[in-house]
């Protein structure tokens, strides 16, 4: 009985007005080449966070999706939402 654990990136989605990039991972427990358990995790790269996009392996998607105008608009919206 050989047990192993594997993480698989199985889904990438672009969502919302500011094209946030969601990445879904599956952590699998494998016994004798059969998946016996799995759990899902998500991580998000927000508009303009190229370092996060790179770490998630979706840098090319970010480059294609996040225009300079979109990043500027997102930063302005973030700044405006912090004003009380």
Q: What are the domain boundaries of the chain?
A: 3-82
pLDDT at site 43:
97
pLDDT, tens digit (0-9, with 9 covering 90-100), for 33-77: 999 999 999 999 999 999 999 999 999 999 999 999 999 999 999
CA distance 1 to 36: 12
> Looking at the chain, how many residues does it have?
84
pLDDT at 37: 97
pTM of the model: 0.84
Query: In this predicted structure, what is the pLDDT of residue 84?
Result: 56
Q: For strand 34-45 and strand 3-15, is the pairing parallel, antiparallel, or unpaired?
A: unpaired
Average pLDDT for 7-17: 96
Provide the 3-class DSSP secondary structure of residue 61.
helix
């Amino acid at each position: 009985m050989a047990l192993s654990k594997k993480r698989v990136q199985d889904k990438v989605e672009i969502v919302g007005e500011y094209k946030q990039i969601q990445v879904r991972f599956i952590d699998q427990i494998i016994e004798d080449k059969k998946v016996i358990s799995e759990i899902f995790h998500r991580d998000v790269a927000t508009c303009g966070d190229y370092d996060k996009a790179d770490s998630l392996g979706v840098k090319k998607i970010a480059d294609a999706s996040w225009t300079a105008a979109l990043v500027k608009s997102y930063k302005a919206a973030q700044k405006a939402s912090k004003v009380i």
